[in-house]
Structure 1
Amino acid sequence: MRPKSLLLLALALGCGLVASIGISQVLDSNNKKQASIETVPIYVALQNINLGDPVNDAMVSLQEWPRDKVPVGAITKWEDIESRRPKTTIFQGEPLNDGKFLAKGETHDPISGIPPGMRLKTVSVDARKSAAGLLSPGDRVDVQLFVPQNERNGIPHSFTKIILQNIRVYAVDQAVQRTAEGTEERSIAKTLSLVVTPQQASRMTTAENMGELSLIPRHPDDDLIVDDAEQSLEDIFARSDSSSREKERAAFDKSNEKEEMELALRKEISHNPTVEVEPPFRMKLIFPNEVSQIDFDNTTGEPLEKEEENFNTYSTNTVGNGSGEATSTGPDLGADKPEGQFPIDFE
């Protein structure tokens, strides 16, 4: 055999020897660690256990768990769990905890699960009012009220309004929790119990006597409270306020045209400043049988308007001359002036 081949063979054998030694050391260290971990036997659920079902030996098994992983209250003795009923659903692989079970001989009391300060309000439902049987305990709903027209009771028109939002369903008929498997057959419930405050319970009772209540399911993570306005028949049948692009464009063009006109007017005013106009000169004219007022332009001396259209005329006092003819007490200012010429010269 050539020296080069012998060298490669020796190198391969050396690498394999080193790898085998390393693997054996790792396995030995793992075995030592496993031997050093202290375990404790506890009972673990072999299947889902529904609320209120008595526990039997086919549902659980005794398993070794690391002591540092054992939860507080874990059950380690069979006599501590035999025939006891869980307060809540226990899932497969979950350690049995003493705090999740009722005392021996005690049955589940649904009323004890009501949160402090809250109340249960039960409403009658059918397929239409309960979302066709899709609601289960723990779901969230909005409560909608429909009030029919009743003018005798002061209700001039029918309307609909959401009176409560984000209300939790506590029980469907007599079931207060979902089954652990979640494969229960859906049925149309006759009653639903809701968790509400005392004030909300009173509001629902009043609403039930006014009209008809319906439950509207909502997403369990949706906490948004919306401002729901009352909806009447007039609102439902009113014409849609859908926008028209042509109307929007016309309104936009009209607005731009108005702005351009205002801008042009401002420029015109800025280039042509306002000139103060002197007030007219007013003169009172006394004729034999009347007194008139007339306004004259201060610049030209001409009357601003015709006398008969703009002037006020007043009668003057006359006195008799003994022959039955009346004579004026005022002077005759226009006696020597031709017709159409103003009786007073300003020059």
Structure 2
Amino acid sequence: MTPVEDSAPRKGGGNTRRNLLLLLLSLVIGGGGAWLAKGFIEKKVNYYRAQLEKTQPMVQVVVPVRDMRRGEIVTEQDLALREVPAEFAHVGAVRNENYQIAVGQRLSFDIAKGRPLLWAHLEGGLSPTFSGMLSEGMRALTVPVDEVNSISGFLQPGDNIDLFMNYQKAVFPVVQNLHILATGTRTVRDKTGQVTGTYQTITVEVAPEVAKKITLARSVGSITATLRNPQDAGPIDSNPYTVAQLLNKPPVVKKKRRILPKKKGIQYIIGGI
């Protein structure tokens, strides 16, 4: 007998295809659900973040724009402002309204770029000592001034000046480009934007040798200060200025005394043959 082939479909192959389709469909549905859930969560997070930023007060704190090491002097160029929620701002952080007190101070600790600058990082803190304003190796010298020498009271802490000495009808340059630390008791950190003329002294930052020079000049003549543009670093004429130059007269040349040679006299020979 010839065997007859069974033309009926096999149940096993159909089940496999159906299972694959169901698996693929479940993956598509699961992936789509995950994508939708991720988008929903992100949208909710952004919404609540925006609401939080709207309702929470922000404050500006000072941060360094570069890594700074212990012993460095803080300058305005080293600092920037960053907004942070007031709730999370450090109580000892330097703020926008008082950062100028920090400028010119020396760091007591290293501080990383972008980290809030704290008063504890600074040698003088919020109430710095006057000596903390001095650069290494420099001295503070107080010089008395009057209305003329104080430029009618317009000299301010942070200005630069040249000093001249008036002595025996001539003017001699003493020292140039001195930095004023204080006028009276008002220091470079007391920047209120107001100019006051009620002071009788100015305090300048000088090297020890320059301090000796100014002290000696004060003892032999009178001192005059001239205000210098902060961008002007050029040298001044070191030659003295005399009354003859003021009156456009040729300088008086002192005649040298002529010393006549001694006449030869008679030579005496003491002794005998």
TM-score (norm 1): 0.41
Instruction: Give the aligned partner of residue 174 of structure 1.
Output: 185
What is the letter of the counterpart of residue 97 of structure 1? L
Gap change, CA 1:237 and 1:170, over 3 Å in 2: same
* Matched position secondary structure for 1:133: coil
Whole-Å separation in 2 of the counterparts to 1:203 and 1:190: 21
Instruction: Give the aligned partner of residue 235 of structure 2.
Output: 225
* Matched position secondary structure for 1:132: coil
Whether 1:136 and 2:146 are equivalent positions in the alignment is no
Q: Contact conserved, 2:119 with 2:125, CA < 8 A, in 1?
A: no
Gap change, CA 1:233 and 1:103, over 3 Å in 2: closer
Whether 1:187 and 2:187 are equivalent positions in the alignment is no
Deviates more, 1:172-181 or 1:220-229: 172-181
Instruction: Give the aligned partner of residue 145 of structure 1.
Output: 165
Whether 1:64 and 2:77 are equivalent positions in the alignment is no
Whole-Å separation in 1 of the counterparts to 2:141 and 2:101: 24
Larger gyration radius, structure 1 or structure 2: 1
Instruction: Give the aligned partner of residue 89 of structure 2.
Output: 76
Whether 1:197 and 2:207 are equivalent positions in the alignment is yes
Q: Contact conserved, 1:169 with 1:195, CA < 8 A, in 2?
A: yes
What is the letter of the counterpart of residue 205 of structure 2? V
1:177, distance to aligned residue in structure 2 (A): 1.8
Instruction: Give the aligned partner of residue 297 of structure 1.
Output: none
Instruction: Give the aligned partner of residue 216 of structure 1.
Output: 226
Whole-Å separation in 2 of the counterparts to 1:108 and 1:116: 16
Gap change, CA 1:105 and 1:198, over 3 Å in 2: closer
Q: Contact conserved, 1:143 with 1:214, CA < 8 A, in 2?
A: yes
Q: Contact conserved, 2:143 with 2:202, CA < 8 A, in 1?
A: yes
What fraction of aligned residue pairs are identical, expressed as a percent? Answer: 20
Whole-Å separation in 2 of the counterparts to 1:207 and 1:104: 34
Whole-Å separation in 1 of the counterparts to 2:155 and 2:180: 8
Q: Contact conserved, 1:127 with 1:188, CA < 8 A, in 2?
A: no
2:130 to 110, 113, 116: 110
Instruction: Give the aligned partner of residue 160 of structure 1.
Output: 171
Listed as ranges, the gaps of 5+ residues in structure 2 are: 1-38, 62-82, 104-114, 251-273
1:119 to 139, 151, 154: 139
Q: Contact conserved, 1:86 with 1:100, CA < 8 A, in 2?
A: no
Q: Contact conserved, 2:156 with 2:195, CA < 8 A, in 1?
A: no
* Matched position secondary structure for 1:166: strand
Q: Contact conserved, 1:86 with 1:101, CA < 8 A, in 2?
A: no
Q: Which has the higher contact order (CA 8 A, sep 6+)?
A: 2
1:107, distance to aligned residue in structure 2 (A): 3.6
Q: Contact conserved, 1:137 with 1:175, CA < 8 A, in 2?
A: yes
What is the letter of the counterpart of residue 169 of structure 1? I
Q: Contact conserved, 2:163 with 2:224, CA < 8 A, in 1?
A: yes
Q: Contact conserved, 2:154 with 2:195, CA < 8 A, in 1?
A: no
Instruction: Give the aligned partner of residue 60 of structure 2.
Output: 44
Instruction: Give the aligned partner of residue 273 of structure 1.
Output: none
Whole-Å separation in 1 of the counterparts to 2:128 and 2:102: 15
What is the letter of the counterpart of residue 226 of structure 1? I
1:104, distance to aligned residue in structure 2 (A): 11
What is the letter of the counterpart of residue 85 of structure 2? E
TM-score (norm 2): 0.51
- CA-atom RMSD, angstroms? 4.1
Whole-Å separation in 1 of the counterparts to 2:179 and 2:198: 18
Whole-Å separation in 1 of the counterparts to 2:198 and 2:134: 24
Listed as ranges, the gaps of 5+ residues in structure 1 are: 1-27, 46-61, 66-74, 149-157, 241-347
Q: Contact conserved, 1:142 with 1:218, CA < 8 A, in 2?
A: yes
The count of corresponding residues between Structure 1 and Structure 2 is 169
Whole-Å separation in 1 of the counterparts to 2:212 and 2:123: 36
Instruction: Give the aligned partner of residue 46 of structure 2.
Output: 35
Q: Contact conserved, 2:93 with 2:117, CA < 8 A, in 1?
A: no
1:232, distance to aligned residue in structure 2 (A): 1.3
